[in-house]
Amino acid sequence: MMGRTHLALGAVAGVHLAALSPRMGLPIMAAALIGAILPDVDTPYSKLGRRLWPLSTLVLWIFGHRGGTHSAVFLVIVTALMWMVSAPVALALGAGIATHLAADAISFGHGTRFTARGAGVPLWWPLAERKSGLRLVKVNGPLENLVILPWATLYAAQLGWRLL
Ligand SMILES: [Zn+2]
């Protein structure tokens, strides 16, 4: 899905976790939002990848888009590393990454950045390279832009508003 939708879905996860630990609300929200776009560090065409283009170009060259950074092992390693710094922030970062993987697993696109079927994520990489997912939502299509994005944005905003 598009970066803005990933951010909105990350915000949904973030506000729920922030509600559990209001004193850590700000770092938890920040971590959930960063986690939500972190897997797309594997393409210089993404929100994050554009800003870190030397890194994203290198990661794209090594793994390809929707490669290793879209796997369970990436989720576990990043969360475990952050756990050494802060457990609540690590959980939020992991939750953000999880929303990204889930959203990409049900969305598909076209062009060289996607696989032949254009859908899914290689969840079990590097054990299995095969991508699994469903062709439910077209990337940047009407379902994403007119339903999922507005719903997630409004949901996160109204829940976040109550936390302030
Ligand atoms: Zn992605």
Three-class HEC string of 30-43: HHHHHHHHHHHHHC
Nearest Cα residue to 40 out of 73, 16, 63? 63
CA Rg value for the chain:
15
The residue range of the domain holding 74 is 3-163
Q: What does the alpha-carbon distance between residue 87 and residue 82 come to, in Å, rounded to a whole number?
A: 7
Residue 63: the pLDDT is 86
Percent with pLDDT over 70 in the chain: 95
Ligand 1 centroid to Cα of residue 39, in Å, is 6
Ligand 1 centroid to Cα of residue 23, in Å, is 30
DSSP element (H, E) containing 15: helix 3-20
Question: Which 8-state DSSP code applies to residue 42?
Answer: G
Ligand 1 centroid to Cα of residue 53, in Å, is 16
Contact 7, 36 (CB under 8 A): yes
Ligand 1 centroid to Cα of residue 41, in Å, is 8
Contact 78, 97 (CB under 8 A): yes
Domain count for the chain, please give it. 1
Tens digits of per-residue pLDDT, 98-147?
999 999 999 988 655 555 555 789 999 999 888 888 889 999 999 999 99
Residue 41: the pLDDT is 94
Ligand 1 centroid to Cα of residue 164, in Å, is 30
Q: What does the alpha-carbon distance between residue 148 and residue 136 come to, in Å, rounded to a whole number?
A: 12
Ligand 1 centroid to Cα of residue 97, in Å, is 9
Ligand 1 centroid to Cα of residue 49, in Å, is 11
Ligand 1 centroid to Cα of residue 104, in Å, is 6
Residue ranges with CB less than 5 Å from ion ligand 1: 39-40, 104
Residue 113: the pLDDT is 56
Contact 100, 157 (CB under 8 A): no
Tens digits of per-residue pLDDT, 5-20?
999 999 999 999 999 9
Residue 112: the pLDDT is 55
